[in-house]
Structure 1
Amino acid sequence: MHIENEIQIDYKVRINRVFEYIDANLDGALTLKILADIAFFSPFHFHRVFKSITGETLNDYVIRRRIEKSASDLMHKHVSLSTIYRSYGFPDNSSFTRAFKKFYGVSPTAFKKENPNKFSKIRQIESKNGQIYPDFEKYICIIDNLKKWIQMNAKIEVKEIEKLNLAYVPSIGTRNLEATYQKLVRWAGPKGLLDDNTKMVTIYHDSLLVTEADKARLDACIVLTKSVAVDGEFGLTSIEQGKFIVGSFEIGIDEFEKSWTGLFVWMHEHGYKKADRHPFELYHNNFNEHPEKRAKVDFYIPID
């Protein structure tokens, strides 16, 4: 059993290298042979391992990443469609439009046009996830209610933060995040990394506005105050110094999505643009130890 666990960990480490390579090369050739070599597998074995870990074929995963990243750009960037489709490896506008429409049910142009505040989750279409979005009047009402809720429940600042050094474990799917944190805590305790001032961080590689929750990639992290050796599925990463919108909340677990949504609405309303860096959450307590099960958490959106 111990040997089987080590093999599973080694496979996850190799696949995580592939995830990172794909994200860095969405405009290039992402063939089975290239990615299998990165994972140090034969193409046949790699294909099976990748699907067993992700639940998707390699081709489906790559197409989804390209489409979801392009959707995020349509929401957050003022760039041309040609710039977007070339950035994500599509040879022309027609192939990009076909793939996008197959995934979201509307063309890229309609996606952008029907989204006046560049916020994709509130639109009058049925998404691939099966969610039905309201009409324009309801859209305006929802936005207004979000603004009021944010004013009442958040302290929002724009500030420069210092570099954060982190140890992390990758997770696929939000439902697996709690178990991933438990694994991180079990590893960190014996290494003397846990005390009353220890902070945990979740880094989002995917936007839950455009990626299904069970397919989203996240990193469960612990902020380091000293150097530590890592191995296996545990790794080292960092959040570089930069400018962020920071929303500070004390919320219930069912209010995280509303908080993120409201913060992005605030960002657009105030004329900021999301930078090409990952949003993250920083936790100030363990919500399970709060008498009302509330989380004290800061949400960080990177901006230019």
Structure 2
Amino acid sequence: MPGDNALTTPKPTPTPTPTPTAAQRYRARFQRVLRHIDDHPDGDLSVAALSAVAAFSPHHFHRQFTALFGIGIHRCVQLLRFKRAGHRLAFRTDPILTIALDAGYDGPEAFARAFKRCVGQSPSAFRAAPDWAAWRAVQSDLLPIERFTMTDQPPPDATDIRIITVPDIPVAVLEHRGDPARIGDSVRRFIDWRKANGLPPQRHATYNILHDDPEQVPPDDFRLDLCVATDRAVEPNPDGVRTGVIPGGRCATLRHVGSEAGLRAALLHLYRDWLPASGEEPGDAPPYLQRVRFFPDVPETEAVTDLFLPLAG
């Protein structure tokens, strides 16, 4: 029959998927726990419930958790709940009762007592004027959790990075200049200005221009621009918001999904790994990012940020 003597091209042998090691499987079970806490802050986050998520014995789970992270599971749950609650208090207008219920408390009184014991301010006082230094000190207990989450995320692949041409983006700009620990005050002022001027993030994209690396400049010299896309003229205002533009051109872009803590690693990958191998040269403009989905509106693991590295040419 025709084709009987035709050469048959052998099919390529698929690359086998590496089998996770015992240590990787162990860590993945704790990743499930952290993701469950992030996705269900108002749910049952008892040792019994979380040990079931991890498929560990409840008799040993809390000791395993503390041994891995240096923080007890009860403390971790409380801090993760208060992290989201604190962001909603500082940057949103949700009623305190709603925030309390979403944090797993039966009512605002119990929430207020626990929040004040932990943070040093009542929820209403924190909403009015957050003590950022105290807030950062409390949240520092979560650093082992953040490092664990970051190291367990696969590094971006070169195929995840695209080179695109973007147009000029007219924006309204509020410059934050000074200690990065106080950027929350600038964010609050910028949110209030956006609300007063009818520029919600659902219809007007949010950008940050990354002029400085907070780890490479003195705190007083740190600079970051908070931007909202708009072609409206910005009237003189006491908030310091002005008209600006993000210059267009060729950019390398990378999407980061996850917590704020992973943004630095993603940007470092662009500069350290991708740029030298690409043959490209950086352009004469700072990197910037677009906030696509925000924490605390979505769980930290579902926050979406697009990074842009301007290129020459």
Residues 1:21 and 2:6 are matched in the alignment: no
Shift of 1:127: 4.5
3-state DSSP of counterpart to 1:299: strand
1:254 equivalent among 215, 219, 224: 215
Q: Which residue in the other structure is 2:124 paired with? A: 109
Shift of 1:249: 3.0
Residues 1:129 and 2:137 are matched in the alignment: yes
Structure 2 alignment gaps of length 5 or more: 1-19, 164-179, 183-201, 230-238, 242-257, 298-313
Residues 259 and 28 (structure 1 numbering): CA distance in 2 closer, same or farther, change over 3 Å? farther
Residues 1:71 and 2:86 are matched in the alignment: yes
Deviations 1:66-111 (A, max 9, x none): 1121111001211211111011111122211111111111111111
Shift of 1:17: 0.7
Please tell me whether the aligned partners of residues 285 and 296 of structure 1 are also in contact (alpha carbons under 8 angstroms): no
Please tell me whether the aligned partners of residues 260 and 299 of structure 1 are also in contact (alpha carbons under 8 angstroms): no
Please tell me whether the aligned partners of residues 206 and 227 of structure 2 are also in contact (alpha carbons under 8 angstroms): no
Please tell me whether the aligned partners of residues 287 and 296 of structure 1 are also in contact (alpha carbons under 8 angstroms): no
**What is the rounded CA distance, in whole Å, between the counterparts of 2:43 and 2:160 in structure 1?**
46
Residues 287 and 70 (structure 1 numbering): CA distance in 2 closer, same or farther, change over 3 Å? same
Partner amino acid, structure 2, of 1:107: S
1:95 equivalent among 96, 99, 110: 110
Please tell me whether the aligned partners of residues 32 and 43 of structure 1 are also in contact (alpha carbons under 8 angstroms): yes
> What is the total number of aligned residue pairs between the two structures?
200
Q: Work out the percentage of aligned pairs sharing the same amino acid.
A: 22
**What is the rounded CA distance, in whole Å, between the counterparts of 1:196 and 1:19 in structure 2?**
25
Residues 1:286 and 2:259 are matched in the alignment: no
Partner amino acid, structure 2, of 1:129: A
**What is the rounded CA distance, in whole Å, between the counterparts of 2:108 and 2:210 in structure 1?**
42
Residues 27 and 172 (structure 1 numbering): CA distance in 2 closer, same or farther, change over 3 Å? closer
**What is the rounded CA distance, in whole Å, between the counterparts of 1:184 and 1:254 in structure 2?**
24
Please tell me whether the aligned partners of residues 26 and 88 of structure 1 are also in contact (alpha carbons under 8 angstroms): yes
3-state DSSP of counterpart to 2:210: strand
Structure 1 alignment gaps of length 5 or more: 132-170, 200-207, 211-240, 271-276
Shift of 1:53: 2.1
TM-score for both structures, normalised by structure 1: 0.51
3-state DSSP of counterpart to 1:246: strand
Partner amino acid, structure 1, of 2:137: N
3-state DSSP of counterpart to 1:172: helix
Please tell me whether the aligned partners of residues 101 and 108 of structure 1 are also in contact (alpha carbons under 8 angstroms): yes
Please tell me whether the aligned partners of residues 207 and 288 of structure 2 are also in contact (alpha carbons under 8 angstroms): yes
Q: Which residue in the other structure is 1:172 paired with? A: 145
**What is the rounded CA distance, in whole Å, between the counterparts of 2:114 and 2:207 in structure 1?**
35
Q: Which has the larger Rg?
A: 2
TM-score for both structures, normalised by structure 2: 0.50
**What is the rounded CA distance, in whole Å, between the counterparts of 2:227 and 2:221 in structure 1?**
10
Shift of 1:245: 1.4
1:194 equivalent among 158, 162, 165: 158
Please tell me whether the aligned partners of residues 67 and 99 of structure 1 are also in contact (alpha carbons under 8 angstroms): no
**What is the rounded CA distance, in whole Å, between the counterparts of 2:206 and 2:220 in structure 1?**
16
